[in-house]
Chain A
Amino acid sequence: MTAELVRGQNHPLPDTRLEIRVSSGAPVAVAATLFDAAGAVAGAGRVVHPGAPSLPGVEVSRQAAAEHRLAVDLGAVAADVHRVAVLLALPADPGGPGRFGALAAPFVAVAVPGGAAVATYTLTGLDTESAVVALELYRRQGAWKVRAVGQGYAGGLAALFRDQGVPGAAGLAAAVQDAVAPAPAPTAPSAPAPTAPPPPVGAPAPSGGPVDYTHPRRRTATPPPPPPSAPPAPPGTPATPVAGDAAGWSMEERLYNQVWGMFEDLARTTAAYRSAVDFAESRMERELEGVLSDPRSRIGTAGDAARAEARARCRELTDRAREALDRDLAQLTAESDVVEPALPPAFARWDHPVWHAYRAPTEAPMALRLGDLHLRERPELRIPMLVRLPLERGLWVDSGRRGSEQALLMDEARLRRLALDTAVAHTARLLAVHPPGDFTVHVIDPAGSGAAAFAPLTASGVLAGPPAAGPGGVATVLAQLTRRVDLVQMAVRGGAGTEVLPPDLDTAGQLLVVHDFPHGFDDRAVTQLRYLADEGPAVGVHLMMVADREDAAAYGPVLDPLWRSLLRVTPVPDDHLADPWVGHAWTYEPPRIPQDSQVLQQVLASVAEARRTWRR
């Protein structure tokens, strides 16, 4: 039985050997302060922190990480220790989030080592604080108890230590920040404490071993910490939304599921509203017709009264439907307001601060944001359009004017440029969210007409090579990718590993961006392209067409299956996407990079830099 603590609540602990699990939306440093019976801290030596990670009975990780497991043995702590405060602090990284309010609510669980959680606590309501006392473990009449504290400090660790009465608070805070400053990227599991039990079965195998038995999407076999859930709301009012309030094995998966939950809720609540309005209107029409066909209503004012009543009934029902819709939309908007700031780069808009603090990831994300979706009832409530990675189908950035109303209004040259810019933004995002070396991008630009738009990619040197030009270039790239698909398919079907593949073969995921199709394509090249579209996604070769279908009209219907196999996205807002539950037409909005923002160039520069260091 796990107790979900609220702030201030305490809970008895069954054992002195405990594991404290911390999960947060961004790397945090974890520390612990040991108090004596009088509530005083004897000295900086009584603080366990990344710079001095071990004291008898308590051990913390040497680095900042999004997930921590601390081993605590309260039986081994010094006899005069009566209270242990567990602290979380955000690294003082100028690119980091800097405040807990920008993240999903941190979650801590006190558990029996390797077993179920005894008590959990979600630290909600943090805002500008950058350090927080999460929990206290304290002695009470010979037994240990845990209390949820949740006291945050906008002044950071220094203010926190000062408040705790730690001598030399500022120096200690600086020491902690120094210890976590280099921030080694991988969140390596902390070394087990002497008193700690062996790591749970199924923990990630040590890297470098010959065989990795871990499932690529299931990182650990131990039960995930429960998601942060909204604190119970007073009756009659909806719960305050919390980012990450959904099922999942990691914060990323929880946020992904939460976004999809919001997507479904918005689809369904809008369906309820539309259905009610349709019903109200059809009922009014029926009633008005009834009045018209009733001979009694033709004389006197009875007819007018009946008509007025029918209209009033319609209005009354529509108003009530609107009220219900507004109530639901207010709740979803509040949820969106906490979820958007907590999103990781792959799910975040380009104007999100995480993109300014971009660092090459060590793991590919589970999904990618392709843009935003909204319905006409509340255009400002936008749901991130997340697609799973690796992509199951290619993308088609439609540069044709006939595809959508907004595109029709636009000048053709501008639309084509916009389509290219959109494709470059999608490509940059794909490159940035994959670990260096895991994703290779090829560009086909037969006539070189997209050179200006492709400049951010070419200038930063993140492409596999310069954009392929002319029929020769097209043929070379297509032949190379076709060979890769063929060989990997054979290896997969034969059940052999990647070791049977020729050494020159790039096993990274591949993206082929095709501009100006079918310029420069002969029949053989078109056939190869179709082969890549059909067979590529299963073996990690993806296609992104930036094309106007009309340009390839000469091929007739034989290319229809190609277009259909691609996920069509537009460079301008367009309502061509349907949700899987009700089938509303959602307006898709392509990703927008803020005007005059250098975020794309900066991110691509970091990607290029990460690749250079990775190759070395």
Chain B
Amino acid sequence: MSINLTKGQAISLQKSDGGTLSAVRMGLGWQAAPRRGLFGSRTREIDLDASAVLFAGKQPVDVVFFRHLVSDDGSVRHTGDNLVGGAGQGGDDEAVLVDLQRVPVHIDQIVFTVNSFTGQTFQEVQNAFCRLVDETNGQELARYTLDGGGQYTAQIMAKVHRTGGGWTMTAIGASANGRTFQDLMPAILPHL
């Protein structure tokens, strides 16, 4: 059963049978909004980039993004940069795989962000979503649909963080501005 998250909502990644998830995938999909008017059929390519920032006690320790596809410890992997987005058919355009069992013990939060590398604002993006999938069986655990466009170029989507012995995902859904995750750091810190 997939849960549609709203801003600020959290779900525990504890399985109903008491086991914990071992691997999850944060998938991101988007579609360029068609333009209206003359040559309206021409869609402009939009390059959204998913990144994952690993925090230990509010300090960024490692980042996984299109220039560094695997965290040094190997627990977080980016499947690669997609420069144009999908047809918005619901599949993931970019995905970040997290092997929760192998996340180093000092990492307590992993924040997922999306940046518009080509500079278009989210007004020109439609059908954007991020979803969390149980990588072991392909089941979608939670989906968070981005609100309709606004005049911003980045979204802090969600975070997974340690709670007790397991992990919890919280939808953040905060808008921000920036080309890569570096620009977002000040905006991320309040959400830790």
Query: What is the interface of chain A, defined by CB distance below 8 A to chain B?
Result: 235, 264-265, 268-269, 271-273, 275-276, 279-280, 283, 317, 320-321, 323-324, 328, 581-582
CA distance A328 to B19 in the complex (A): 20
Whether B72 lies near A581 (C-beta < 8 A) is yes
Chain B residues within an 8 Å CB radius of A264: 74
Whether B106 lies near A582 (C-beta < 8 A) is no
Chain A residues within an 8 Å CB radius of B56: 276, 279
Dominant SS among interface residues on chain A: helix
Interface string of B53-77 (1 = CB under 8 A from A): 0001101011000000010111100
Chain A residues within an 8 Å CB radius of B19: 235
Number of A-B contacts (CB under 8 A): 53
List B40-97 residues whose CB lies under 8 Å from chain A: 56-57, 59, 61-62, 70, 72-75
Given known contacts A279-B59, A320-B105, A269 and B72 CB-to-CB distance under 8 angstroms: no
Q: How far is the CB of B79 from chain A (nearest CB, A)?
A: 17
List B150-184 residues whose CB lies under 8 Å from chain A: none
Query: What is the interface of chain B, defined by CB distance below 8 A to chain A?
Result: 19, 56-57, 59, 61-62, 70, 72-75, 102, 104-106
A–B pairs, 28, beta carbons within 8 Å: A235-B19, A268-B70, A268-B73, A268-B74, A268-B75, A269-B73, A269-B74, A269-B102, A271-B72, A272-B102, A272-B104, A272-B105, A275-B61, A275-B72, A275-B73, A275-B106, A276-B105, A276-B106, A279-B57, A279-B59, A279-B61, A279-B106, A320-B105, A321-B104, A321-B106, A324-B105, A581-B74, A582-B72
Chain B residues within an 8 Å CB radius of A276: 56, 104-106
**Which of A273, A275, A328, A581 is close to B70, meaning CB atoms less than 8 Å apart?**
A581
Whether A272 lies near B59 (C-beta < 8 A) is no
Query: Which of the listed residues A269, A271, A272 has the most CB atoms from chain B within 10 Å of its own CB?
Result: A272
List 8 A-B pairs, minimum CB-CB distance, nearest first.
Answer: A268-B74, A272-B73, A272-B104, A276-B106, A271-B72, A320-B105, A279-B106, A582-B72
Query: Which of the listed residues B56, B57, B102, B104 has the most CB atoms from chain A within 10 Å of its own CB?
Result: B104
Q: How far is the CB of A260 from chain B (nearest CB, A)?
A: 13
Chain B residues within an 8 Å CB radius of A581: 70, 72, 74
Whether A273 lies near B72 (C-beta < 8 A) is no
CA distance A323 to B72 in the complex (A): 19
Chain A residues within an 8 Å CB radius of B57: 279, 283
Further pairs besides A272-B72, A272-B75, A279-B61: 18, Cβ < 8 Å: A264-B74, A265-B74, A268-B73, A268-B74, A268-B75, A269-B102, A271-B73, A275-B72, A275-B73, A276-B104, A276-B106, A280-B106, A321-B105, A321-B106, A324-B105, A581-B70, A581-B74, A582-B72
Given known contacts A279-B57, A283-B57, A273 and B104 CB-to-CB distance under 8 angstroms: yes
CA distance A279 to B61 in the complex (A): 9
Whether B74 lies near A275 (C-beta < 8 A) is no
Chain B residues within an 8 Å CB radius of A283: 57
Q: How far is the CB of B49 from chain A (nearest CB, A)?
A: 22
Q: How far is the CB of B105 from chain A (nearest CB, A)?
A: 4
Chain A residues within an 8 Å CB radius of B74: 264-265, 268-269, 271-272, 581
Residue of A nearest to B103 (CB): A272
Q: How far is the CB of A335 from chain B (nearest CB, A)?
A: 15
Chain A residues within an 8 Å CB radius of B72: 268, 271-272, 275, 581-582
Q: How far is the CB of B32 from chain A (nearest CB, A)?
A: 34
Chain B residues within an 8 Å CB radius of A582: 72
CA distance A317 to B106 in the complex (A): 7
Whether A275 lies near B59 (C-beta < 8 A) is no
Chain A residues within an 8 Å CB radius of B75: 268, 272
CA distance A320 to B57 in the complex (A): 16
CA distance A265 to B70 in the complex (A): 12
CA distance A235 to B72 in the complex (A): 27
Q: How far is the CB of A268 from chain B (nearest CB, A)?
A: 3
Chain A residues within an 8 Å CB radius of B73: 268-269, 271-272, 275
CA distance A271 to B102 in the complex (A): 12
Residue of A nearest to B74 (CB): A268
